[in-house]
Protein backbone atom coordinates (compact mmCIF):
# COMPACT_ATOMS: atom_id res chain seq x y z
CA UNK A 1 0.00 0.00 0.00
CA UNK A 2 1.34 3.41 -0.94
CA UNK A 3 1.73 6.11 1.69
CA UNK A 4 -0.61 9.09 1.56
CA UNK A 5 1.02 12.50 1.33
CA UNK A 6 0.21 15.10 3.97
CA UNK A 7 -2.81 17.13 2.85
CA UNK A 8 -3.86 14.56 0.22
CA UNK A 9 -7.42 13.32 -0.01
CA UNK A 10 -7.86 10.00 1.81
CA UNK A 11 -9.13 7.05 -0.22
CA UNK A 12 -12.67 5.91 0.52
CA UNK A 13 -13.05 2.86 2.76
CA UNK A 14 -15.70 1.11 4.85
CA UNK A 15 -15.53 -0.03 8.47
CA UNK A 16 -17.90 -1.74 10.87
CA UNK A 17 -19.32 0.63 13.48
CA UNK A 18 -20.18 -0.10 17.10
CA UNK A 19 -23.86 -0.10 16.02
CA UNK A 20 -23.40 -3.18 13.78
CA UNK A 21 -23.64 -1.08 10.63
CA UNK A 22 -21.09 -0.23 7.96
CA UNK A 23 -19.73 3.31 7.75
CA UNK A 24 -17.79 4.70 4.80
CA UNK A 25 -15.53 7.73 4.74
CA UNK A 26 -17.39 9.15 1.73
CA UNK A 27 -20.58 9.46 3.83
CA UNK A 28 -18.99 12.41 5.64
CA UNK A 29 -17.55 14.20 2.59
CA UNK A 30 -18.53 17.85 2.60
CA UNK A 31 -20.63 17.59 5.76
CA UNK A 32 -18.29 16.82 8.67
CA UNK A 33 -14.62 16.93 9.54
CA UNK A 34 -13.05 13.50 9.99
CA UNK A 35 -9.86 12.70 11.90
CA UNK A 36 -8.19 9.39 11.06
CA UNK A 37 -6.04 8.01 13.87
CA UNK A 38 -4.15 4.75 14.11
CA UNK A 39 -3.07 3.20 17.40
CA UNK A 40 -1.45 -0.11 16.38
CA UNK A 41 -0.81 -1.23 19.95
CA UNK A 42 -3.89 0.25 21.63
CA UNK A 43 -5.71 -2.12 24.01
CA UNK A 44 -2.84 -4.64 23.96
CA UNK A 45 -0.60 -5.70 26.84
CA UNK A 46 2.56 -4.22 25.20
pLDDT computed for residue 24 by the predictor: 92
**Comparing C-alpha atoms, which of 9, 11, 12 is closest to residue 27?**
12
Q: How confident is the model over 13-46, as pLDDT tens digits?
A: 998 988 999 999 899 888 878 887 777 776 666 6
Entry pTM: 0.54
How high is the pLDDT of residue 9?
Answer: 82
The per-residue pLDDT for 32 is 79
25 burial via Cβ count (<10 Å: 0-12, 13-18, 19+)? middle
Task: Name which residue leads in pLDDT, 1 or 3.
Answer: 3
Amino acid sequence: MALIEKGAKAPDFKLASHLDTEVSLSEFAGSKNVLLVSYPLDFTPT
